[in-house]
A and B are shown apart, each in its own frame.
Chain A
Amino acid sequence: MNNTQKGSWIMLAMAVFTLAVTVYIAFGIFSTGQIPQNNWIFPLFCICFIAVPFFLIRKKQSSQEVQKDERDMNIQRNAATVSFFSVWALLFAFVFAAMCAFGNDGAVPLYWLPLGVISAMLISFIIYTIAILVQYREN
């Protein structure tokens, strides 16, 4: 497994974790009206997604582990293209969902927009990493 693959697995885990935390916080805001107070989220995030990846990506797990080459860059570019188109699909799906929920003449609270954009960003990261891993599996 090279750096790109390891990075993709870590990014996938990070995006899923952050999406889960975003849903948890949004659920807390909508049910209790305030941001949930959990002191364990930030330290867990730091340990799992900064310390462990730093060690795994910097240190080779075997002497046969390859460095990054032209093929890896090509795979990343293809994944970015897939992710780019998925962002548009997600943004238009978000507008469609808002139209279904509030009606065409309805009004959307502005604090919904950052939640929508962050969710779209995280889902597009998940799609990006899955596209990278699928291409490595196929090749």
Chain B
Amino acid sequence: MNKTQKGAWFNLLGSLLTILTFGIVGFMLFGVNKFPNKTLMLAVLAVFFLLAGATIYYVRKKQSPEEPESDERDKLIQRNAVIAAFVSVWVLLFIANISLQLCFGAAGLIPVWSLAIINVAILYVVLGVYSVAVLVQYGKGGHGNE
């Protein structure tokens, strides 16, 4: 497994964890109308730091001397994944727009701060799409060590 693959796995885990945290916090704030437990938030923060530390360690350090460096093929895979992520941005923005119009009507109003939350949520989903696109391409074309 090379640096690009390891990075993609950690990106995927990080974005899934962030989306899950967003979902739980959103549900507790707007669904149950209660601020999330401080211990739970600290535990989530600890997992984030652990994940960030593990990412830095595993991406910087080679697990075996046969682990290849990043080459032209990796760059190509990353660029193709960027295109998949680019397309997903428009699809997600379209879905977000349509669902908001369906929920509140065209003449409805939404708070300005929710726009920032929508943008960040879309950013994390797109990061997940990018990572999946990288991993799928490696899955199709070998294991990244040839």
Contacts and interface: CB of A to CB of B under 8 A. Distances in A.
Nearest to B103: A110
Most buried by B among A91, A107, A110: A110
A103 B115 CA distance: 12
Contacts of A83: 86
A107 B79 contact: no
A13 interface: no
Interface string A21-58: 00000000000000000000000000000000000000
B79 A78 contact: yes
Task: Specify the main secondary structure of chain B where it touches its partner.
Answer: helix
Interface stretch (A2-10, A59-67, A92-100, A130-138): A92-100
B101 interface: yes
A107 B85 contact: no
Contacts of A91: 93, 119, 122
Contacts of A102: 112
B105 interface: yes
CB-CB nearest 10 A-B residue pairs: A107-B109, A77-B79, A84-B86, A95-B115, A110-B108, A81-B82, A106-B112, A117-B93, A95-B116, A80-B83
Given A81-B79, A117-B97, 7 more contacts: A84-B86, A92-B119, A95-B112, A99-B112, A109-B108, A110-B101, A110-B104
Interface of B: 76, 79-80, 82-83, 85-86, 89-90, 93-94, 97, 100-101, 104-113, 115-116, 119, 122-123
Interface of A: 77-78, 80-81, 83-84, 87-88, 91-92, 94-95, 98-99, 102-111, 113-114, 117, 121
